[in-house]
Structure 1
Amino acid sequence: MSTLPLLHPSVRVEVAELTGRNLRKIMREPTLVFFSLAMPVIMLTLFSQVFRSVSQSSDFPAGVSYIDYLLPAVLCTTLAQSATTSSTAIATDLEEGMVDRFRSMPIHAWTVLLARNLSDVVRGMLQSLVMLVLGLAVFGFRFHGTLLEAVGTLLVALPLSFALNWLFIWIGVLVHKPETTQIAGMLVTFPLMFASSAYVPIASLPGWLQVVAKVNPLSYTVDAARGLALGHPDAGAFWKSLLVATVLACVSVAGATTAYRRIDR
């Protein structure tokens, strides 16, 4: 029986080397690191203050502070937002000729894309950890559940983050232009973030927007993370989130790898 491609030693080395290369490149750009951290911090600060009165509405969960309601959503939206840099990064590599160098090397084509994804997932998780520390130390956030549920709050968004990274890598390979991919990323992430259960209860949204929010995949992930953070796990939201992430990842992996192989063919 042949070894699964991802388990082959040479593939593991390729993915590790390329992932390390991507992370080192990020760390050599302090302005990128700064603004990647600054944006979610600003959003956490603004939303925790501007929408604080939402906790007084009848639709809001009883006995829950707004920061406890908000922070699990910010962890999820931070990962969703960080995924957009996958498209910009792969488009930049294409524009600067780095991908041509990769294609001239004896490495598997899809490991370049997988390494791009993994490095951006790591960066997104570090951003989320910064948000969590700030929430605990500055904004008064507290977990209501067990330690295991607290860990789950941090990890539950990873499948969707992984899938969104693949989607944006696909966009980056198709578009080739970093500036254009940034706009495309905003067009995807803004509806995901604001037409969801992230910042206010769905019941408080206009009727037509409630319909959109209820089928928004980010709503499933936010509800799953929020349920864990508040000590009331929502198994239905978790499985819906995982299912959507799996389908999106499969479609995006196929699309991204096919588009990558067709470059300059």
Structure 2
Amino acid sequence: MKFFRDTWLIFARQMQLLLRNPVWVFVGVFQPVMYLLLFAPLLKPALSPLGVTSDAEAYQVFVPGLLVLLAIFGGLFQGFGLIAELRAGVIERSRVTPVSRFALLLGRSLRDVVSLIAQAGIITILALFFDLRVFIGDLLLAYLMLALIALMTSSVSYGVALAVKSEDALAPLMNTVAQPVLLLSGILLPLQFAPGWLEDVAKWNPFSWAVDGTRALFAGDIGNDRVWQGLLIVSVLTVLSVWWAAREFARSVR
């Protein structure tokens, strides 16, 4: 019971800080909106070899990848705020409180999840004006996938931030990880366009399974194996990431 109370206290505090300056929610969706407005119109002719013949089908391919992109990058760069807290002594002062060390991580990560879902909602609503159509049940399951990705990536980012304790080290490290993850997940274009060797390499990228599963949900194919495979892979990695990051928090504040 104490753990849930501590998590809620940290989450409520972090949400209060976010709501004081909600502009960051909209800043976070600026780049995805630019992709939606300036890149997506090119998709129908580009995807015609895959049988895409309408704007609605093109956006069912593109928007899920865009949302996964938002979840990955939105989570991986949350560690910069934690480094600022370290420098300000916020984490140091946590040592004298009885708050669970696990709650210190989970409360922050859940704030990131809520922020991501709000941003995903904005992107989805905008995409409706471009003929995107998706069933609400499939959409909610897709959002669950996104929430798990955001929880995983933000936990990893916090754990790495606690380990390196420097923006100068965190920035190149996160970029080095994010770029191959992006290119090997088929976020912008499906990997059906890729040569065989690239598809084989991409199978080792868990986010490619998440992208395929999310696309299946947006297409209304909830029974597709990729949906459940993606959810399973992301869930396992999320548990491992949260466990590792919580250990880093415990080491930093004990």
- Corresponding residue for 1:249? 238
* CA-to-aligned-CA distance 1:30-56 (integer Å, 9 cap, x gap): 553332121221222233034443222
* CA-to-aligned-CA distance 1:177-204 (integer Å, 9 cap, x gap): 2353233332222322222222222121
2:108 aligned with 1:98: no
2:115 aligned with 1:115: no
- Corresponding residue for 2:131? 140
- Corresponding residue for 2:28? 36
Are the counterparts in 2 of residues 149 and 231 from structure 1 also a CA contact under 8 Å? Answer: yes
Pairing partner for 1:226 from 215, 223, 231: 215
2:8 aligned with 1:19: no
2:63 aligned with 1:74: no
* Separation in 1, partners of 2:35, 2:160: 25
Pairing partner for 2:160 from 164, 167, 171: 171
* Separation in 1, partners of 2:192, 2:67: 22
- Residue identity in the other structure for 1:134: L
Pairing partner for 1:211 from 197, 200, 210: 200
* Separation in 2, partners of 1:233, 1:241: 12
Structure 2 unmatched ranges of 5 or more? none
Pairing partner for 2:40 from 9, 25, 48: 48
Give the TM-score normalised by structure 1: 0.85
SS in 1 for 2:207: helix
* Separation in 1, partners of 2:145, 2:240: 21
* Separation in 1, partners of 2:244, 2:228: 24
* Separation in 2, partners of 1:254, 1:65: 39
- Residue identity in the other structure for 1:173: L
Are the counterparts in 1 of residues 102 and 246 from structure 2 also a CA contact under 8 Å? Answer: yes
Q: CA deviation at 1:256?
A: 1.6
The aligned length equals 253
The alignment yields a C-alpha RMSD, in angstroms, of: 2.3
SS in 1 for 2:203: helix
* Separation in 1, partners of 2:148, 2:253: 32
* CA-to-aligned-CA distance 1:109-167 (integer Å, 9 cap, x gap): 11100111100000000010000011012x22122xx4322332333322222222222
* Separation in 1, partners of 2:38, 2:196: 26
Runs (4+) of structure 1 moved beyond 4 Å?
Answer: 60-64
Are the counterparts in 2 of residues 202 and 210 from structure 1 also a CA contact under 8 Å? Answer: yes
Are the counterparts in 2 of residues 166 and 252 from structure 1 also a CA contact under 8 Å? Answer: yes
Q: CA deviation at 1:258?
A: 2.3
Identity %: 24
Structure 1 unmatched ranges of 5 or more? 1-7
* Separation in 1, partners of 2:222, 2:238: 24
Q: How does 1:172-211 map to 2 (within 5 A)?
A: 172-211=161-200
Q: Structure 1 50/97 Cα, relative in aligned 2: closer, same or farther at 3 Å?
A: farther
Are the counterparts in 1 of residues 95 and 253 from structure 2 also a CA contact under 8 Å? Answer: no
Are the counterparts in 2 of residues 92 and 176 from structure 1 also a CA contact under 8 Å? Answer: no
* Separation in 2, partners of 1:220, 1:66: 19
